[in-house]
């Protein structure tokens, strides 16, 4: 079945540091890939997505590229801010209409001033 593996946290960075959160997946076919963000006390928000190989999803300065050859979808940001402190979830769904979403375990990011 489908699965998502993401790096364990917490990740602690200083403001303006470079962020990478690794995510790899196992799936058949061509899944869609997502990053969700959960700010403290809130529900999940879709941060970005990519639906086919080599697509780059981007939003709010975050980027992730769908790498089919390495089955990866790593999240990056060039300069993090304190307001980026949250839990980040990598997720995937199968192709062809709606498929159930499989979530990773989440990576907590803490950015200190």
Partner 1 sequence: SAVISQKPSRDICQRGTSLTIQCQVDSQVTMMFWYRQQPGQSLTLIATANQGSEATYESGFVIDKFPISRPNLTFSTLTVSNMSPEDSSIYLCSVVLDRPYEQYFGPGTRLTVT
Binding stretches for partner 1 (CB under 8 A):
32, 34, 36, 42-46, 49, 51, 89, 93, 97-98, 100-101, 103-106
Closer Cβ to partner 1, 97 or 113, answer by number: 97
Closer Cβ to partner 1, 77 or 106, answer by number: 106
Question: What is the closest distance, in whole angstroms, from the C-beta atom of residue 57 to partner 1 in the complex?
Answer: 12
Angle at CA 45, nearest 5°, toward 43 and 50? 150
Question: What is the closest distance, in whole angstroms, from the C-beta atom of residue 78 to partner 1 in the complex?
Answer: 26
Question: What is the closest distance, in whole angstroms, from the C-beta atom of residue 27 to partner 1 in the complex?
Answer: 16
5 Cβ contact list (under 8 Å, min separation 6): 23, 24, 25, 26, 104
Cβ atoms within 10 Å, residue 109: 20
Closer Cβ to partner 1, 73 or 89, answer by number: 89
Q: Which two tokens stand for residue 70?
A: 């390495």
| Secondary structure of residue 69 in the 3-state scheme | coil
């Amino acid at each position: 079945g489908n699965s998502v593996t993401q790096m364990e946290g917490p990740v602690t960075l200083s403001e303006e540091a470079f962020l990478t959160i690794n995510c790899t997946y196992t799936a058949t076919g061509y899944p869609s890939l997502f990053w969700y963000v959960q700010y403290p006390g809130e529900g999940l928000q879709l941060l970005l997505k990519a639906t086919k190989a080599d697509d780059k999803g981007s939003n709010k300065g975050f980027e992730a590229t769908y790498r089919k050859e390495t089955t990866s979808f790593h999240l990056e940001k060039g300069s993090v801010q304190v307001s980026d402190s949250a839990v980040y979830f990598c997720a995937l769904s199968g192709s062809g209409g709606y498929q159930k979403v499989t979530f990773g375990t989440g990576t907590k990011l803490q950015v200190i001033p």
